[in-house]
């Protein structure tokens, strides 16, 4: 057995160009498959695996009675200020938080930090617990009563590094938006990819730099970031009329305790809409949509459909490469047929020869797989360069490495078995001529 293995290794080294060509051919096919599959796998990864089926995105249909918000008859993807405030205040789920992007000047009093324009998320305190945002220091604030505004803030790690030089800044003050805020918490690095809780600026956009209580947005009349959609155009110019309007600008998410609570929450939502109808709002038929994270990602087509096409093309490409490698391995075997015949004639068993070929083919296949894996690393790096937004999640995890290795071994067997099957059908006498 050892002898057979040694012979196989020697044979592999015997024609270095041919061996390299075989390895490269297999590796190209594998790299193409791993890269395309990797993109699909990484893009569709569950961003909150512990509870993605219990964290729900809320949509209500408050749109124009004559026209759907999104064809065919779909509700808008965000909710109005009043619905956000009402539903969060009703506390019908374990956690509930509405949020919206806004911005404003941050003017630190620290001598080392320069003023800058901060991109902020105005939200409720339960946002952090619901989405498992990791805290480096401190804790989130509590969900406030609707008309109570606390001047507190949670900072991202970047901002804490920039303003407070990375120290524990909990309890210190930060002046921004023309007021003074107390820091209650600092997040650790946090780049949910896809950024499922708000994909208005793209599914792989960066998270915001600072977090402030939802009510502060109204208190300070902060600008409406993200996407604002309106259908009722008889809107006056002041800020409060926007808050009272049917314009949607707010992402609304809730987390329920158990899966069985989802139907209760659905029931609450329809009774809420019923109650609003009595007040003259919601003039379309009730059309609430409650999607969990996975359904929401699917609804938003986070994985571009092209990716599936590329993966199927890559699989076919791999097949071509394997057929090719099989031909090349056959050529390699053919060039040693005299040697094989000689060994046969000297009494080597058919089995030993078969084993030697098998080992040689497997060595080539596995080397091809390894090279392919390295190539796919390079390829994914290249894609991250080409599309910087992808760089936060483009890393090979264990599952993906497992996929690459499994594919390599299967490919090696496939490309080796064709020539061996062919070889084993060739009578010995033919080689001896």
Partner 1 sequence: MYLTRLLARLSIKHICSILLRQKYTVLILVLQIALATAVLSNGLFIALERYKTVHTSSGLDELNSFFLTSSGFTDSFNPKNSIQADLAKIRALPEVVNVVKTNSFPYSETGDEFGLTIEQDNQNPVNAASYKLDEHGLETFGLELIAGQNFTKNQVTWQSEHDKKFAAQILLTARTAVALFNTEDWQSIIGKPIFIDNNQIVTVIGIIKKLHGPWAKSEHLEHSFITPSVVTHNSSRYFIRVKPGLLEDMMNHIAHALSLHDKQRVIRKVTSLSEAKKQVFGADLAALSIVFTVMGALSLVVALGIMGASSLKVFKQTKQIGIRRALGANKFDILRHYLLENLMVTTMGILLGVFFAVTLNVLLVNHYGFSKLPIMYLVAAALVMYLLNILATLKPISNAIRITPVTATQSI
Applying CB under 8 A, the residues found at the interface with partner 1 are 21, 25, 28-29, 32, 35-36, 66-67, 103, 105, 107, 115-117, 178, 201, 233-235, 237-239, 304-310, 312-314, 316-317, 319-321, 323-324, 326-328, 330-331, 334, 379, 382-383, 386-390, 418, 422
d(CA 357, CA 415): 12
d(CA 52, CA 130): 10
CB of 317 to partner 1, least distance (A): 5
Q: Which is nearer to partner 1, 4 or 415 (CB)?
A: 415
Task: Please state, in angstroms and as integers, the Cα–Cα distance from residue 350 to each residue in 6, 200, 381, 404, following that order.
Answer: 17, 66, 47, 33
Q: Which is nearer to partner 1, 182 or 330 (CB)?
A: 330
CB of 204 to partner 1, least distance (A): 9
Q: Which is nearer to partner 1, 132 or 304 (CB)?
A: 304
Q: Which is nearer to partner 1, 3 or 387 (CB)?
A: 387
CB of 271 to partner 1, least distance (A): 32
Q: Which is nearer to partner 1, 320 or 432 (CB)?
A: 320
CB of 231 to partner 1, least distance (A): 10
Listed in sequence order, the residues at least 6 apart from 10 whose beta carbon sits closer than 8 Å to its beta carbon are none
CB of 64 to partner 1, least distance (A): 10
Cβ-count burial of 130 within 10 angstroms (0-12 exposed, 13-18 middle, 19+ buried)? Answer: buried
CB of 86 to partner 1, least distance (A): 25
293 close to 48: Cβ distance less than 8 angstroms: yes
Q: Which is nearer to partner 1, 146 or 226 (CB)?
A: 226
User: CA nearest 102: which of 116, 115, 118, 114?
Assistant: 118
d(CA 298, CA 303): 8
Q: CA angle at residue 12 from 7 to 14, to 5 degrees? A: 90
CB environment 391-412: b (16+ within 10 A), e (fewer) = bbbbebeeebeebbbebbeebb
Concatenated DSSP letters of 47-106: SSTTTTTTEEEEE-----TTS-SBTTTB--SSEEHHHHHHHHHHT-SSEEEEEEEEEEEE
Q: Which is nearer to partner 1, 67 or 277 (CB)?
A: 67
CB of 365 to partner 1, least distance (A): 16
Considering only CA atoms, give the Rg of the chain: 31
Q: Which is nearer to partner 1, 27 or 292 (CB)?
A: 27
CB of 266 to partner 1, least distance (A): 29
């Amino acid at each position: 057995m050892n002898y057979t293995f040694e012979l196989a290794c020697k044979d592999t080294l015997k024609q270095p160009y041919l061996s390299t060509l075989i390895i490269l051919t297999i590796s190209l096919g594998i790299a193409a498959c791993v890269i395309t599959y990797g993109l699909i796998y990484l893009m569709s990864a569950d961003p909150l695996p512990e509870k993605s089926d219990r964290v729900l995105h809320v949509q209500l249909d408050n749109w124009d009675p004559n026209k759907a918000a999104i064809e065919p008859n779909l509700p808008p993807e965000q909710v109005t200020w009043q619905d956000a405030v009402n539903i969060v205040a009703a506390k019908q789920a374990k956690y509930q938080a509405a949020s919206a992007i806004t911005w404003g000047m941050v003017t630190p009093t620290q001598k080392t930090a320069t003023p800058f324009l901060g991109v902020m998320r105005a939200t409720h305190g339960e946002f952090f617990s619901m989405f498992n945002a990791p805290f480096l220091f401190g804790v989130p604030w509590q969900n406030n009563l609707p008309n109570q505004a606390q001047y507190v803030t949670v900072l991202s790690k970047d901002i804490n590094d920039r303003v407070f030089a990375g120290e524990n800044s909990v309890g210190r003050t930060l002046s921004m938006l023309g007021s003074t805020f107390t820091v209650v918490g600092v997040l650790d690095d946090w780049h949910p990819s896809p950024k499922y809780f708000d994909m208005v600026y793209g599914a792989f956009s960066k998270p915001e730099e600072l977090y402030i209580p939802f009510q502060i947005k109204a208190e300070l009349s902060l600008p409406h970031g993200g996407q604002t959609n309106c259908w009722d155009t008889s809107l006056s110019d002041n800020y409060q009329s926007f808050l009272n309007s049917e314009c949607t600008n707010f992402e609304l998410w809730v987390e329920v305790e158990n899966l069985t609570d989802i139907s209760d929450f659905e029931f609450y939502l329809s009774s809420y809409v019923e109650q609003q109808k009595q007040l003259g709002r919601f003039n379309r038929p009730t059309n609430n949509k409650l999607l969990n994270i996975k359904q929401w990602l699917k609804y938003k087509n986070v994985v571009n459909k092209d990716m599936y096409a590329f993966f199927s093309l890559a699989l076919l490409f791999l097949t071509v490469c394997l057929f090719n490698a099989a031909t090349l391995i056959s050529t390699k075997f053919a060039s040693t047929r005299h040697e094989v015949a000689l060994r046969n004639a000297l009494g080597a068993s058919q089995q030993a020869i078969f084993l030697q070929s098998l080992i040689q083919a497997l060595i080539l296949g596995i080397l091809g797989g390894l090279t392919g894996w390295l190539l796919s690393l390079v390829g994914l790096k290249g894609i991250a360069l080409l599309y910087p937004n992808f760089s936060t999640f483009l890393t090979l995890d264990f599952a993906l490495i497992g996929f690459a290795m499994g594919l390599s071994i299967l490919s090696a067997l496939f490309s080796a078995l064709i020539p061996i099957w062919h070889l084993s059908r060739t009578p010995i006498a033919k080689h001896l001529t």
